[in-house]
Chains A and B, each alone.
Chain A
Amino acid sequence: MSSATKASRIGEELWKTRVDKVNAELVTLTYGTIVAQLCQDYDGNYQEVNKQLEKMGYNIGMRLIEDFLAKSNVGRCANFRETADMISKVGFRIFLNIAPTVTNWTSDNNQFSLIFDENPLADFVELPDDGRAQDELWFSNILCGVLRGALEMVQMQIEAHFVSDVLRGDDTTEMRVSLVRYIEDEMPPDEE
């Protein structure tokens, strides 16, 4: 059984049995109001909004990984390809009930894309028609931060950014994820 199908089964099973649920619209609307508030606070400076969303995601990711590990009880991934399947089929499944497609690997297996057919965060959303938002705002940028924060806690430094979004008029929503390095365990200086 491939790691992808295995991860898929784990994800489905967890979603059915271990995940407390809420109405999806409550989550969608709450996220929408967060982004809207940022746009207002930063006065339409969408670059800054993207940055803030990423930061919020990072904070979430650092805490979310614990919930992920506690629920999934999975061990360490053997390689980055396995990590990608875990993110898509288990992580996204248990937190957003979706499983974005993992694709477009580079030959060194250090970079892949996640293609989102569904994105519950962006339900009901239309970007402002101000001639800039569609070029500058990455509405779901919080997800990039979540991945960065979560993976950092399991010794992976990654970089993630969106390259396309249906909200911008693109045909797909795609996030690019790159492994920067595995973080070595560092002993605290005062311990032997």
Chain B
Amino acid sequence: MTQPARHAAMLSISNGGPNAVAVDKQQSQHIHTQSQSSQGLRVPSNRKTIYDRHLNRSRSAELSRASFAFLFAEMVTYAQRRVTGIQDLERRLNEQGYPLGLRLLDLLYYRTMASSTSSSLSSSSTSAAPPNRPLRILPLLHLIHGPLWRLLFNRPADALEHSVSPETPNEYMITDNDPLVNTYISVPKEMSMLNCAAFVAGIIEGVCDGCGFEAKVTAHNQPTEMWPGRTIFLLRFGESVMEREKVLERAGVK
């Protein structure tokens, strides 16, 4: 429902994997017809382009956590100048994460496929990473809880739960006891509802939408004594997803 609109508003800087290139191509064609002036992108003669780099090149690369903290803090500060309230701020952070999710999804497929073919040769793999696109909600959630979290934060998320209320069977929760993105964010008292992990919620939403599971994802503070920064990501799947889920269940698709 909201998906086409968000795709259309997608950012024109490609950042994050092969899908990005395709998107830019579409967009640039669009611009082409408007301006007719562009001759296409110039590339360095030594071929230092994204097409010449292996996609796994930065897979295990590391950068300073401080750099991330500085950038993220600047991103939040910038967003804060242009919003009307906490909800608006969280919405904006969510929107900034969303395109990353769409693109990370492709990167995840690419990498889990590569690793699962090699491991299936050696033994019966018990890896949580599904080799193919998830069709049902549970494999999708495992993809987020495991591979996505490991890609971003080098560890899986801490918990995955299904709503116990019979009224909200479409709600699932992913818990992070100590979200990396919030490590260096101190929230003023009057904004205690704010959770800047809304950015991560946006990433999750992008992954879900990219997979064809329309969802709304929000981040909520749920501190415990041991984990003061504990955050719950609440995933609410759309009705169409729940209907399809029932059909697939009857058809025996896993």
Chain B residue numbers with a CB within 8 Å of A126 are: 13-14, 20-21, 24, 41, 49-50
Contact call B41/A129, Cβ cutoff below 8 A: yes
Alpha-carbon distance A127/B39, docked complex (angstroms): 14
CA of A33 to CA of B206, assembled, Å: 13
Using CB atoms and an 8 Å cutoff, list the residues of chain A in contact with chain B. 19-37, 39-41, 52, 56, 59-60, 63-64, 67, 94-97, 120, 123-131, 134, 139, 166, 168-171
The distance in angstroms between the C-alpha atoms of A20 and B41, with both chains bound, is: 37
Which B residues have a C-beta under 8 Å from some C-beta of A? 9, 11-17, 20-21, 24, 27-28, 31-32, 35, 37-46, 48-50, 53, 57-59, 61-68, 70-72, 74-75, 77-79, 82, 96-97, 99-100, 103-104, 151-154, 180
Give the distance to chain B from A117, nearest Cβ to Cβ, in Å: 9
Give the complex CA separation of A94 and B31 in angstroms: 40
Interface of chain A: mostly helix, strand, loop or mixed: helix
Give the residue of A23, A30, A129, A134 whose beta carbon is less than 8 angstroms from that of B72. A30
- A33's partner among B17, B49, B96 (CB-CB below 8 A) is B96
Residues from chain A with Cβ under 8 Å of B66 in the complex: 19-20, 64, 67, 95
A36 touches B11 (CB 8 A): yes
Q: Which of A28, A63, A171 contacts B70 (CB 8 A)?
A: A63
User: Of A22, A59, A60, A128, which is in contact with the most chain B CB atoms at under 10 Å from its CB?
Assistant: A22
A36 touches B12 (CB 8 A): yes
Q: Given the complex, which residues of B lie within 8 Å of A131, measured CB to CB?
A: 31, 35, 37-39
A127 touches which one: B16, B37, B41, B61 (CB < 8 A)? Answer: B41
Q: Which of B16, B27, B71 contacts A27 (CB 8 A)?
A: B71
Hey, which chain A residues are within 8 Å of B24, CB to CB? 126, 128-129
* In the complex, residue of chain A having the shortest beta-carbon distance to the beta carbon of B107: A25
Give complex CA distance A96, B154 in Å.
18
